[in-house]
Amino acid sequence: MREIEVSKITDVVEKLCIDANEHLPEDVKCAIKDCRACEDGEIAKGILDNIIENFEIADRECVPICQDTGMACVFLEIGQDVHFVGGDLSDAINEGVRRGYDKGYLRKSVVKDPVRRGNTGDNTPAMIYTEIVPGDSVKITVGPKGFGSENMSAIRMFKPSHGLQGIKDFIIETVETAGPNPCPPMVVGVGIGGTFDKAALLAKKALMRPLDSSNPDPFYADLEKEMLEKINELGIGPQGFGGKTTAIGLNIETLPTHIAGMPCAININCHVTRHKTEVI
């Protein structure tokens, strides 16, 4: 049994909130630059140049890449031999978010009630996802999620008879409906299988996976490639002004599911697909 002080979790979450909001992951930067090299329209090229200049300014000056510094999605993979001491784990995570959003001059974008609204003033509570895994370490990922893109996400409970074609059509339909709203070029996270809620979680996890990686199952790796190509034939383009680059990446995550169903969730993200990880 390894004891970990929860104050350590607070420190790491604070740091990751700031880091993730100021520095785009290298795989995302590369994907944007690769798309810029393939783009031929004048407006599309200009937009992608500005997007590249933007993340370079954020890197250099340590300022937020985007003003929507998101809801703090905090993923913890907790080794089963870990024992947290010194306080409540959720409180410690929220304290990390509170400090990170204050010290990093990040925007406080959380309201305390979905219907009655009212800003909480410190960007808490975080959306916390925990998973128990073997071992005695804790892997923490902070993925700030903006809502321009979150709002364009969708979930559908398919009949098994809809098959692969149903999934393919749903992905295209969701991206097309999103159009210019989620600040394209976008990143598309697809979750297939599990239950209603697990499919949505898979879609969110798909957005945390590097864009230069593939699903380990060749069937889904091929589907990722095929759907990214199809999306980029839609012509929506950077910011929706027309062009080749509608999406810079598409990741699929799956789980077994029930004989009667085929849930599919699509979580849309923008070109500012942020996440930073640290292992304690």
Interface stretch with other proteins, choices 58-66, 89-97, 189-197, 258-266 (CB under 8 A): 58-66
Q: How many CA atoms lie within 13 A of 164 on its CB side?
A: 7
Report d(CA 179, CA 235) in Å as an integer. 10
Find the shortest distance in angstroms from Cβ 117 to other proteins: 8
Residue from 199, 270, 275, 276 touching other proteins (CB under 8 A): that is 270
What residues numbered 100-139 form the site for other proteins, per CB under 8 A? 105-109, 117, 119, 121
Report d(CA 99, CA 85) in Å as an integer. 20
Residue from 80, 179, 219, 222 touching other proteins (CB under 8 A): that is 179
Cβ proximity to other proteins: between 83 and 117 the closer is 117
Strands (E), 47-109: 71-79, 82-85
Count Cβ atoms within 10 A of the Cβ of residue 164 and give its class: 0-12 exposed, 13-18 middle, 19 or more buried: exposed
Residue from 7, 181, 195, 214 touching other proteins (CB under 8 A): that is 181
Contacts of 272 (CB under 8 A, 6+ apart): 24, 55, 65, 66, 146, 183
Across 62-75, b (16+ Cβ under 10 Å) vs e yields eebbbebbbbbbbb
Q: Is position 174 an interface residue for other proteins (rule: CB under 8 A)?
A: no
Residue from 23, 30, 45, 46 touching other proteins (CB under 8 A): that is 46
Residue from 1, 37, 42, 256 touching other proteins (CB under 8 A): that is 42
Which residues make beta-bridge pairs with 77? Answer: 131, 139
How would you classify the pairing of strands 154-158 and 262-269? antiparallel
Residue 268 corresponds to which tokens in the numbers above?
């849309």
Interface stretch with other proteins, choices 72-80, 157-165, 179-187, 196-204 (CB under 8 A): 179-187
To 10 degrees, what angle do helices 218-231 and 163-178 make?
A: 40
Find the shortest distance in angstroms from Cβ 176 to other proteins: 10
Interface stretch with other proteins, choices 8-16, 76-84, 91-99, 181-189 (CB under 8 A): 181-189
Residue from 33, 34, 57, 197 touching other proteins (CB under 8 A): that is 57
The mark string for 201-240 relative to other proteins (x by CB under 8 A, - otherwise) is: --------------------------------xxxxx-xx
Cβ proximity to other proteins: between 40 and 218 the closer is 40
- Number of helices (H), then strands (E), belonging to the chain: the values are 8, 10
- The residues binding other proteins (CB under 8 A) are 41-43, 46-47, 50-51, 53-55, 57-58, 61, 63-69, 105-109, 117, 119, 121, 148, 151, 179-183, 233-237, 239-244, 270-272
